[in-house]
Amino acid sequence: MLLFFITPFILYIILVLFSWAAAASAASSSAAASSAASSAASSAASSAASSAASSAVSLSTTMTSLVKQYNFREEVVDISGITIHSVIKDPTSVIHSVHDDVFVFIHGTASSSVTFFDVMEQMPSNVKCVAIDLPSFGISGDIDIDMYPTNKELCIHYANVIGQTLQKMDILHKTTLVGHSLGGFLSIYVGARYAIKNLVLLNPAGILPTLGVWGYYWAIFFKLGLPTTIFDLPLISRNGMKRIITTIFHDDSLLTHFWLSFYSNPRNKGHQILQRVITFTPCYSYWNTPSFPTLTDVYKKIPTTVCFGVKDTICPSHIGSFLKYVSCGEIMIHNIHDANHNPCVNTAEMTKLLKSIVTNQHEGTVGITIHKPNNMTFHRGCKGYSYPSFTKTQRSIDQIYKYLLTHRA
């Protein structure tokens, strides 16, 4: 029994030692070895500040290199004192398009604008694309989420930051907003407050209180703040962990360097948003700010498409079938095979879908009215929790579908 408790501690000490050994190896092989040695002798506070500044510079430099590699450009706007970083693909074709859509991409948690670079590259040359880095995700400025007492206020603030960014870029009314996961969740709030042209949700999180049958276990992953918090463990060397990971996977590419710099950046606090909107207990978990009531308003005024990667275990595709049914087909649903939680990994299919949104305008059917349950209704009428038991979670999913379907007018 004693060994059971001691083993994790021993493994952690080994990881700490390996991280610092890897950091020392990296430092000794570079011209900065002497400066690394001198900084090691400085105080812990100044060392932490230096590490944060160094990580931010490294992340920004790597981002710029990636942007140049794709022949895109960067732009920074100020929204109420918050710097918002975006990456833009300008139209290069002289062929005039009858549509003036601008595709604006919003990433999810543990992610950034880089997620969409391959898709943006494959979009038609006469279409403008913009990928925005959300605040507190490393490249853009920070938001103090503790300033917002309720999750709804926090979501509305993020929606305002996105909407005001589009206004400042003078593209709001041309925008086809493409939001992935947490970005899709926040994009619903944007659609509720701003007159965008189209809304596209890619595996949107938080539509219902429950996720898929794996929801309970994904909640543990998100509440722990992974993978970012691995680099925040006490005594762990951030540079050493980066070195270990690149060595294990034999991947020294610029893209890998970006993601490692991103996750190891102390300013990357975006995972704290997900930690707030997910409630976790040892017995169950749930998304405590479901966006379904807001979505029922949004799709009636903005053409809405929802896309799912069929292999996703976080936001499963059966949510799409439910949304199509309750909206009488007004919400357009697309499933992308050979894709998981991020359907952008299937670049060809994702690009094909986005092109079709421009060429085939949304054709809605007669809508239906759905009573908009508030959070208390979800809790009392049908909880929609995820449980350690897959069977119990599936019953919970079935119950919340039945509840919402039987509360239509």
Q: What is the dihedral of CA 348, 353, 356, 362, to 10 degrees?
A: 180
Q: CA–CA separation, 137 vs 112, rounded Å?
A: 7
Which pLDDT does position 13 carry in this prediction?
Answer: 78
**Residue 23: pLDDT above 70?**
no
**Half-sphere exposure at residue 107, Cβ-oriented, CA atoms within 13 angstroms:** 26
Q: Which of 404, 399, 391, 335 shows the shortest CA–CA distance to 213?
A: 391
Is the pLDDT at 121 greater than 60? The verdict is: yes
Is the distance from CB of 117 to CB of 72 less than 8 angstroms? yes
pLDDT, tens digit (0-9, with 9 covering 90-100), for 349-369: 999 999 888 776 444 433 334
Query: Which whole-number Å values give the CA distances from 98 to 101, 126, 172, in the listed order?
Result: 9, 10, 18
Model-level pTM?
0.85
Please measure the distance between the N-terminal and C-terminal CA atoms of the chain and give it in whole angstroms. 59
Query: What are the extents of the domains in the chain?
Result: 53-405
138: left (phi over 0), alpha (psi -120 to 50) or beta: left
Alpha carbon distance 203, 188 (integer Å): 13
pLDDT at 94: 60
Residue 90 tokens, joined = 């300008």
Q: pLDDT of 50-86, one tens digit each?
A: 444 555 567 889 999 999 999 999 999 999 999 999 9
Between 265 and 3, the higher pLDDT residue: 265
Q: Exposed (0-12), middle (13-18) or buried (19+): which is 199, by Cβ within 10 Å? A: buried
**Domain 53-405 CATH superfamily:** Alpha/Beta hydrolase fold, catalytic domain (3.40.50.1820)
Max distance between CA atoms of the chain, in angstroms, equals 72
Task: Compute the average pLDDT of residues 320-348.
Answer: 90
pLDDT in tens, 230-242: 888 887 787 787 7
